[in-house]
Each structure stands twice: as structure tokens, then as C-alpha cells.
Amino acid sequence: MPRKPAPRHALVVHMTKDLNLAPPVRPPARCLSPPTPAGRYLPPDGLSIRTMDCSDEGLQRDVEAWLSIQNQAFRDRPRPWKRADFQRELHERNWFRPQHLWLAETPELAAPVGTIALELVSCTPALSNEPLGGRIHWLAVDPRFQRRGIGRTLVLRLEQECWERGAEQITLETLRSWTSVTGFYRSLGYQENHVISADP
Ligand SMILES: CC(C)(COP(=O)(O)OP(=O)(O)OC[C@H]1O[C@@H](n2cnc3c(N)ncnc32)[C@H](O)[C@@H]1OP(=O)(O)O)[C@@H](O)C(=O)NCCC(=O)NCCS
């Protein structure tokens, strides 16, 4: 979950989806040729999903786009996120890497309009290095493009990524007071498990 400052006494809710009970939607055969990631989900017209470009120039552009989407979607942050904040996340979190940061692009705009990130975790780290669970972070859609199915497509793309890597469960944390966000996840089959903390 993006680190939007939580109001005092905010309740953080943990949500889960068991991918065994609801395996990611498989694409109809006609969408498999040629197999484009976005085509697998029948996303909104022309929408494509990709990870960040790892070339020097591409990465610069994608980080700017990522910051812009985050700052627009989380406008009530006390201050906008800057490149240094992104660099700090890179430094502090071993999963926060361009290859785990996904972007949604629409032909309507020359820049990406949505972000999401995937952290793969092992449920039994002492026994195995196999990733068995996925965690969603940093989901955000440019407010001008919300309610067009972009957020849903990003989450479904991540679910398929988890499934293909052997992860059977996907989790996330959000604030219970963000009812539009919990409603969004519920509409995709996520269930609220428990409240994690009562005090920030
Ligand atoms: C949450 C968010 C990513 C959803 O993205 P989106 O592209 O607008 O969502 P979608 O269009 O794919 O919505 C899919 C379904 O989720 C539900 N939904 C989405 N936004 C909703 C809202 N504000 N209120 C209630 N239900 C909502 C609806 O059922 C919707 O389907 P419908 O439009 O056919 O009714 C977006 O609102 C956002 O960026 N919010 C700010 C950042 C944020 O809070 N991120 C989550 C942090 S944990």
C-alpha cells in the first residue's frame, strides 16, 4: 500500500484473495495470438500493461510518470513525492524494482495512467524460497482515467503474474476508511480478513 499518511487512529485492513478458489481469468483463445499481456484480459480499448522500462532513458521517463500518477491519485499527501522518495524505496525494499513495477498505458495519453507493484513472498521462508504469495502495493490510477476498468485490469494482470509464478494467495493492506478502495477490491473477489492496527 502506498505510504499515504494515515489519519490518527486509522484502521488498516488486510484483504486476501485465494487464487485457487478464483483462478485468474484465462484469455479466450482469440486473444492469445499474438499474446500481449493486456490482450489476455480484454481490458479497456487499447489499454496495455507493462513493467517499467529498464533502459536508462526509459527508466527516467517511467519514474517521472510513476511519480506523476501517484501524486495525482494521492493528492492529500502533505507533500508530493519526488524522485528522491522513489530512490529511497529502491534502497529500502528489495522487491521495489522496475521489473515489479507495472504501468498501464492508454492510447489517449502519451504517458502511463496507472501503476501497481507486486511483491512475491514465501509463506514458509525457512523451508523454501518458492514464492507462495503475492502482495499488491502502489495501486493508483490517474483521476482523469478512473472508473474505466484500468485499476481492475492492473489487479487482474498481477493476479495472473502471481498464478504463473506459483503463488496461490494474494494480499494487500489498505485503510478501512477508504471505502471506495475496499469496495473496489471486494468487487474483484477480495475479502477483508482482519484489522491490523488501530493506531498509526
Ligand atoms: C482504487 C483505484 C485504483 C480504482 O481504479 P479504477 O481504474 O478507477 O477502478 P475500475 O474502473 O477498474 O473499477 C472496477 C470496479 O471497482 C469498483 N470501484 C472502483 N472505484 C470505486 C469507487 N470510487 N467507489 C465504489 N466502487 C468503486 C466498481 O465496482 C468498479 O466497477 P464499475 O465501474 O463497473 O462499477 C482508483 O480509484 C485510485 O487510484 N484511487 C486512489 C489511489 C488509491 O486509493 N489506491 C489504492 C491504495 S490501497
Q: For the domain covering 35-167, report its CATH number.
A: 3.40.630.30
pLDDT in tens, 60-72: 999 999 999 999 9
Residue of the CA atom closest to atom 19 of ligand 1: 184
| DSSP 8-state assignment for residue 175 | E
Average pLDDT (101-112) is: 93
Q: Which amino acid is at 15?
A: M
Where is pLDDT greater, at 123 or 189? 189
Banded pLDDT at 9 (limits 50, 70, 90): low
Residue 70's CB is within 10 A of a number of other CB atoms, namely 21
Q: What is the pLDDT of residue 164?
A: 86
Residue of the CA atom closest to atom 37 of ligand 1: 146
Alpha helix positions (H), the chain: 56-73, 83-92, 150-164, 179-187
Q: How far is the CA of 180 from the centre of ligand 1 (A)?
A: 7
Exposure string (b/e) for 88-122, b if CB count within 10 Å is 16 or more?
ebeeeeeebebebbbbbbbeeeeebbbbbbbbbee
Q: How far is the CA of 128 from the centre of ligand 1 (A)?
A: 35
Residue of the CA atom closest to atom 1 of ligand 1: 181
Q: What is the mean pLDDT of the chain?
A: 85
Q: How far is the CA of 129 from the centre of ligand 1 (A)?
A: 33
| DSSP 8-state assignment for residue 26 | P
* Structural domain boundaries in the chain: 35-167
Q: How far is the CA of 192 from the centre of ligand 1 (A)?
A: 16
Angle value at C-alpha 92, between 196 and 133, nearest 5 degrees: 50
Banded pLDDT at 5 (limits 50, 70, 90): low
pLDDT in tens, 62-102: 999 999 999 999 998 899 999 999 999 999 999 999 999 99
pLDDT in tens, 24-44: 765 444 333 333 444 455 678
Residue of the CA atom closest to atom 25 of ligand 1: 180
